[in-house]
Structure 1
Amino acid sequence: MGDLFDTVPDTGGGGAKGPRPLADRLRPQSLADVIGQDQVLGPEAPLGVMLSSGALSSIIFWGPPGVGKTTIARLLARETDLHFVQISAIFTGVADLKKVFEAARHRHANGQGTLLFVDEIHRFNKAQQDGFLPHMEDGTILLVGATTENPSFELNAALLSRAQVLVLKRLELSDLELLAQRAERELGKTLPLDGPAREALLEMADGDGRALLNLIEQVAAWKVDGKLTTDQLTTRLMRRAAKYDKSGDEHYNLISALHKSVRGSDPDAALYWFGRMLEGGEDPRFLARRITRMAVEDIGLADPQAQTVCLHAWETYERLGSPEGELALAQAVIYLALAPKSNAGYVAYKAARAQAKKSGSAPPPKHILNAPTQLMKDEGYGSGYAYDHDAADGFSGQNYFPEEMKRPVFYQPVERGFERELKKRVDWFANLRAKRGG
C-alpha cells in the first residue's frame, strides 16, 4: 500500500528496537532529500510555489506505487507544522473516519492544523468522499490523497474541485541510480554487479523506488566473489531483466510494430509484437485500449464486428485477469489482423471536423429547424421540410447542409468487407439525390 520510504510514523526514539528495512533507514528527512519529482517539488513547481507562499492547499497525488506519495505527504506536514495523520481507504470505515475528524476538530480548536493523508483514496465510495468536504472547507483538515487510478474517473467532482491534482511520475533510471548510490553509502559497500547487471537491476525496479531498495537489500546480502553478470543476477532473483522502458522509445517502437503488423494483415507478426510487449511487462489494459483503437481506426466499417470483438476481449481480461485474460486479447489481435481494412470512416471524420472548424458559424437550413413558437414559424423555421417517411422509398433527397455551403463528400467507403454494401447504399442515395435536385 505504501510508497517510497513509507514506514510507520516517527515515534521519537521510543518503541521496540530491531532490524530496520533499508527503505526505512533511507527515508528522506526533508523535501530536498526526495529523489525525483522535480515537476512537483521544484522552486517553480506547484508544491514549491505553495510552500514558498505559505499557502498549502488540499492535494491529490496521482502516480504509480513507489514514487514518493506517502513520503512527500509526511514531509509536507513536517515543513508546515501540521499534525500528520495517515489512514488507508482499504482499512478505514465510517466510524474510523468520524474519530479522525473529531480528533482533528479538537486540534483545530486548539490552534493545531491536521494534514490527513489518505492512501488509496479512490477506494472510498461517493458518500465517504463527500464526508471530507465540510472538514476541508472549514479548515479542520488539509487533505492529501494518494491514488494510483485516474482521479477524473475515480474521485467525485466536488472533491476534485477543492483539491489540486499533482501527477507523480515513475522514477527515471537516473533517479534510481542516485537511490542505489545512496543505498550503497548506507550499507557501506558497493553492489557486486558489473555495469550491465547494475543497469538490469535498475530496470527490474520499473520506476518503483521501494522495489529497487528491496532488490538492493537482497543483492547486498549475497556472498559472492567478483561481480555478477546480468544472467547470473536474473537467475538468482528468478526474474528477468526488463526488456524495454514502458515509457521510453522502445515502448513506442513496439506498439508501432504491433499496430503496423495488424494494419498489414500479418497475424503472426502481430502476435509476436504483442508477446514482446507482454514479456516486457506492458500493462495488458494498455494493449486492450490500443487494439480497440486499431479496430476503430484501421478496420472501421469494413468489419463493424471488429470493435465488438476487442471490447469483449477487454471485458474478458478484466474478468479473468492475467494470464488467462491475455489469451482473449491475443485472439482479438488475430481477428484484427485478418479483418478487411478501411480507414474511410477515420478519414471522413477528420475531414468533417476540418470543415466544421472552417464554417462553424453557418446555420442549418431553415427547413430542418423546429418551430415550437409562432414567431419561429413566421420566420420560416420548418417551412418546406419533407418528411422522409412519406416518400415512397423513404428518402426525400433534401439538403441538410448550410444553404451557402457547397455539398461536400466526406465518407467514401472502400470495396472491401462490409463497406462494399455501404458503398452501394452511398451510391444509391447519391443517384436519388441527383434525380430529385437535393
Structure 2
Amino acid sequence: MSDLFDNAGKSAPAPSRIRHQPLADRLRPKTLSEVVGQEKILGPDGPLGAMLAAGQLGSLILWGPPGVGKTTIARLLADATDLTFVQISAIFTGVTELRKVFEAARLRRDQGGGTLLFVDEIHRFNKAQQDGFLPHMEDGTIVLVGATTENPSFELNAALVSRAQVLVLERLTPADLERLIQRAEADRGRPLPLDPDAREALIAMADGDGRALLNLVEQVAGWKPEGRLDTEALSRRLMRRAAKYDKTGDEHYNLISALHKSVRGSDPDAALYWLARMLEGGEDPRYLARRITRMAIEDIGLADPQAQGICLQAWEIQERLGSPEGELALAQAVIYLALAPKSNAGYVAYKAARVEARRTGSQPPPRHILNAPTRLMREQGYGAGYAYDHDAEDAFSGQNYFPEGMRRPVLYQPVERGFERELKKRLDWFTRLRQRRNG
C-alpha cells in the first residue's frame, strides 16, 4: 500500500490518463465542404446544397454503405442550420427513451429553438415505432435525419419515406480514400511507411469505407519499419478486411441480380466474378445452385435443353462433395449458361398462359376430350367425337383442346436460336396441318 498512500494515509495522486482520440474522429470534417466523396448531394447543384442555399432543411433519409459520412453530414447540417443536434441509435433506443427525446425537442421548440434528430440504423425500428416519428415531423418538433444501410423502399414505412427526402450516399472511390490518407499524413506530419503498391493495397482493404481506412492508417502509422513496406509485408501485418456482404440485405439481392444479368448477357467473365463475390462473402452454395438452375429455366429455356441438366448435376455435386469441388461445379455451370443460346420464350409463354387462365376462369375442357367412365357421362356427350391422334395421318388430328367458344391464343413463340430453331420448325408444321384440317 506504500505506493498508493503516504505516511499520513492520504491518497497519492493517481497517474494521469492520456485519452487517445481515434484518428477517424480527429479528422472528422468541420464543414460540409470538407466531406469527401459526396459532392453529388452536397455540391451547389445537389439536393442538400440547394436546401441550405434556400434555408429550408427538411427531414432526410441518408441511405448508403458504412463509412461514407452519414453521421458527419447530419452533425454538420445541424451546425449549418443552428439546430440542436441529438443522436440516437435504433439498436439501443426504446419507446421510453424516444418519448423523452420528443418531449425535450418540444420544449426546445416552444422556447424558439429547433432539433435535428439523427437516428442511426433507423430501419431497425419496427413499423409502429417508425410511425411514432410522424406527428413530431409534421408539427415541426424535429427535423429527422435517418441513416440506413438498407433500401428505404423495403425497410421503412411508406408514410415515413413520403415525409422525408431520400438521399443516396455512394461508397468512397480509391481517389476519395487517397485524399483521406493525405489528410492523415498531414495530421501526423509524415507519410505512411508504404511503397506505392502497398498504398494501393491499403486502399483496397478499406473497400470504400472511409472510417475503416482511417483505422487501418492509424495502425500503419504506429509502425516504425526500416524503409517502406511492400504489399507482402503489409499483408503480413494487417489482416485483409472482409468485403461487405449482407446475406439477407440489399447486397445479397444486388449481387444475385448482377450474376443473373451477366449470365443473360452472355458474359462468362462477369458471371464468374459475381459468383466468386457471393461465395467469398459466405453465401450458401445451395442458394446459388437453386438460382443458377432458375437462370437455365428462365433465360436459356428450350434453346439448349441440356442447360437445366447441367445445373442440376452441379447442384448435386455441390451437395455431395461440398467445397471447393462443388463450387467449381457451380462455376462451370455458370460458364455454360453464359455461353448457351438464350431464349425466354417458354417463360413468356407460361406467363401468358396464366393470364389466359385467370381471364377464362373456370371454363371446362371441351367434352370430346373428357373421359367417360360411366354411362351417364357418355349420355352427356363426354368423349364423343374424340379423335385418337395416333390413328390420324402424321399422328396429328388437329382437334381443339381449348374450352369451347374460347378464341385460340398463341402463347409459345420460339426464337431462331439454338434448339428452339428446330422447335419452331415443328410448331410451324403443326400449325399448317391444323389450318388445313380445320378448313
What's the TM-score bracket when you normalise by the shorter of the two chains? 0.5 to 0.7
Deviation of 1:137 (Å): 0.7
One-letter identity of the residue aligned with 1:133: L
Matches within 5 A, 1:283-294: 284=283, 291=292, 294=295
- In the other structure, the counterpart of 2:36 is 35
Whether the 8 Å contact between 1:85 and 1:117 is mirrored in structure 2 is: yes
After TM superposition, the score normalised by the length of structure 1 is 0.68
- In the other structure, the counterpart of 2:263 is 259
- In the other structure, the counterpart of 2:344 is 345
State the secondary structure of the residue aligned to 1:60: strand
Per-residue CA deviation, residues 189-223 of structure 1 (Å, 9 max, x unaligned), is 10001111111111111110001000100101011
Matches within 5 A, 1:13-412: 18-239=19-240, 259=263, 273=273, 276-277=276-277, 284=283, 291=292, 294-295=295-296, 297-300=298-301, 302=305, 333=331, 343-345=342-344, 349=348, 389-393=365-369, 394-395=401-402, 398-399=406-407, 410-412=413-415
Whether the 8 Å contact between 2:83 and 2:116 is mirrored in structure 1 is: yes
After TM superposition, the score normalised by the length of structure 2 is 0.68
State the secondary structure of the residue aligned to 2:123: helix
CA distance in structure 1 between the partners assigned to 2:142 and 2:325 by the alignment: 47
Whether the 8 Å contact between 2:177 and 2:213 is mirrored in structure 1 is: yes
Deviation of 1:294 (Å): 3.5
Whether the 8 Å contact between 1:57 and 1:142 is mirrored in structure 2 is: yes
One-letter identity of the residue aligned with 2:366: D
Alpha carbons of 1:327 and 1:422: their partners in 2 closer, same or farther (altered >3 Å)?
Answer: farther
Alpha carbons of 1:166 and 1:400: their partners in 2 closer, same or farther (altered >3 Å)?
Answer: farther
Deviation of 1:106 (Å): 1.1
Whether the 8 Å contact between 1:348 and 1:411 is mirrored in structure 2 is: no
Alpha carbons of 1:37 and 1:96: their partners in 2 closer, same or farther (altered >3 Å)?
Answer: same
State the secondary structure of the residue aligned to 2:62: strand
Deviation of 1:104 (Å): 1.0
CA distance in structure 1 between the partners assigned to 2:423 and 2:174 by the alignment: 53
Q: Which runs of 5 or more residues in structure 2 are unaligned?
A: 1-16, 244-250, 353-357, 370-400
User: What percentage of aligned pairs have identical amino acids?
Assistant: 51
One-letter identity of the residue aligned with 1:136: M
CA distance in structure 2 between the partners assigned to 1:308 and 1:96 by the alignment: 53
Per-residue CA deviation, residues 393-437 of structure 1 (Å, 9 max, x unaligned), is 332585367xxxxx79733598869x9999988976775466446
Alpha carbons of 1:433 and 1:408: their partners in 2 closer, same or farther (altered >3 Å)?
Answer: farther
Whether the 8 Å contact between 1:296 and 1:307 is mirrored in structure 2 is: no
CA distance in structure 1 between the partners assigned to 2:124 and 2:45 by the alignment: 32
**Rg: which structure is higher?**
2
Per-residue CA deviation, residues 94-141 of structure 1 (Å, 9 max, x unaligned), is 111111111111111111111111111111111111111111111111
One-letter identity of the residue aligned with 1:209: G
One-letter identity of the residue aligned with 1:37: Q
- In the other structure, the counterpart of 1:12 is none
Whether the 8 Å contact between 1:298 and 1:341 is mirrored in structure 2 is: no
Per-residue CA deviation, residues 57-102 of structure 1 (Å, 9 max, x unaligned), is 1110110000000000000011001111111111111111111111
State the secondary structure of the residue aligned to 2:146: strand
Alpha carbons of 1:101 and 1:326: their partners in 2 closer, same or farther (altered >3 Å)?
Answer: farther
Per-residue CA deviation, residues 375-397 of structure 1 (Å, 9 max, x unaligned), is xxxxxxxxxx9956134233258
CA distance in structure 1 between the partners assigned to 2:325 and 2:154 by the alignment: 27
Deviation of 1:17 (Å): 6.2
CA distance in structure 2 between the partners assigned to 1:80 and 1:420 by the alignment: 69
One-letter identity of the residue aligned with 1:41: L
Alpha carbons of 1:240 and 1:43: their partners in 2 closer, same or farther (altered >3 Å)?
Answer: closer
Q: Could you say what the CA RMSD is over the residues aligned between the two structures, in angstroms?
A: 4.9
CA distance in structure 2 between the partners assigned to 1:241 and 1:130 by the alignment: 36
CA distance in structure 1 between the partners assigned to 2:311 and 2:123 by the alignment: 29
State the secondary structure of the residue aligned to 2:368: coil
State the secondary structure of the residue aligned to 1:55: coil
- In the other structure, the counterpart of 2:384 is none
State the secondary structure of the residue aligned to 1:389: coil
Per-residue CA deviation, residues 293-313 of structure 1 (Å, 9 max, x unaligned), is 74355333648978997xx99
State the secondary structure of the residue aligned to 1:97: helix
Whether the 8 Å contact between 2:105 and 2:141 is mirrored in structure 1 is: yes
CA distance in structure 2 between the partners assigned to 1:326 and 1:207 by the alignment: 29
CA distance in structure 1 between the partners assigned to 2:94 and 2:139 by the alignment: 22
